């Protein structure tokens, strides 16, 4: 990707996050980047073309984040996993907030959202099975239960961002989102898992603060 294209995409994401996809014009993006509208349309002729490029960049970042999180899964570093995921959501909050409008402009975005959801659910299930193997979580009560459990985890991770947009970061912070996911796991933890949970919950404010400084 050319340097100018990179600047355009960064500026587009920032403006989409602040004002919403429908309220941002190509002229606004060109002004933000410091180039002429003609220079912008040389790289991206329409708003749809630009949005497609932004979504492609998001896909690449998701893949990189997934590979990073695989390392954290092995060490059961749940805080790093959740912080990475939630930080990605914050950085691209326009996508989750304006998804219906985005799909109207770029129908392929529906597939990206579906792929994203399925990846989160599958990742959650794999993390659960690993925790069962390490003795932190109980075996599945019945077949398919942890599939639904993982979908509920995704629902929490998806809905918190809207709450944050409405009520503000102080009331709905990364800490609150991570705590909500941890609490969902509580009744499935073994004795060893409960001990680990108690220690993790006590350290959570400090751990989240440290992770945010690394993002």
CB 29 within 8 A of CB 11: yes
Whether 124 and 155 map to the same domain: the answer is yes
* pTM reported for the whole predicted model: 0.82
Does one domain contain both 60 and 23?
A: no
168 with 64, same domain: the answer is yes
Indicate if 185 and 80 belong to the same structural domain: yes
Shared domain for 5 and 60, answered yes or no, is no
> H or E segment at 117?
helix 109-133
Q: What pLDDT digit, counting tens, does each position of 25-37 carry?
A: 999 999 999 999 9
Range of the domain at 38: 1-45
Tokens of 68: 């990073």
**Same-domain pairing of 34 and 69:** no
**Is there a single domain that holds both residue 121 and residue 171?**
yes
Mean per-residue pLDDT, 116-131: 88
| pLDDT, tens digit (0-9, with 9 covering 90-100), for 159-200 | 888 888 889 888 888 888 889 999 999 999 999 999 999 998
Q: How many domains does the chain fold into? A: 2
Q: From 181, 23, 5, select the one nearest 94 (Cα to Cα).
A: 23
Return the CATH number at 16. 1.10.10.60
Q: From CA 70, how far away is CA 129, in angstroms rounded?
A: 14
User: Are residues 162 and 116 part of one domain?
Assistant: yes
What are the residues facing 189 on neighbouring strands? 137
Q: Are residues 39 and 52 in the same domain?
A: no
pLDDT of 16 reads: 97
Same domain, 201 and 163: yes
pLDDT of residue 110: 93
Kindly state whether residues 65 and 93 are assigned to the same domain. yes
CA distances from 210 to 32, 70, 155 (A): 31, 20, 26
Unique residue bearing structure tokens 């705590």: 179
Measured CA to CA, the distance from residue 43 to residue 66 in angstroms comes to 29
Over residues 112-131, mean pLDDT = 88
Domain harbouring 119, CATH code: 1.10.357.10
């Amino acid at each position: 990707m050319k340097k100018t294209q990179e600047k355009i995409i960064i500026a587009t994401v920032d403006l989409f996050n602040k004002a919403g996809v429908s309220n941002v014009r190509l002229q606004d993006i060109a002004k933000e980047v410091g180039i002429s509208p003609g220079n912008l349309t040389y790289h991206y002729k329409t708003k749809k073309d630009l949005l497609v490029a932004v979504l492609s960049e998001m896909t690449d970042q998701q893949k990189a984040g997934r590979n990073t999180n695989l390392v954290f899964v092995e060490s059961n570093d749940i805080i790093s996993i959740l912080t990475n995921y939630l930080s990605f959501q914050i950085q691209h909050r326009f996508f989750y907030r304006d998804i219906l409008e985005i799909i109207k402009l770029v129908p392929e975005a529906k597939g990206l959202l579906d792929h994203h959801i399925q990846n989160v659910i599958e990742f959650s299930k794999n993390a659960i099975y690993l925790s069962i193997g390490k003795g932190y979580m109980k075996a599945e009560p019945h077949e398919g239960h942890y599939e639904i459990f993982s979908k509920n985890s995704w629902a929490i991770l998806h809905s918190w961002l809207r709450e944050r947009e409405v009520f503000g970061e102080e009331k709905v912070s990364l800490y609150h989102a991570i705590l909500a996911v941890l609490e969902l796991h509580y009744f499935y933890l073994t004795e060893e898992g409960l001990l680990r949970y108690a220690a993790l919950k006590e350290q959570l404010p400090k751990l989240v603060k440290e992770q945010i400084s690394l993002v």
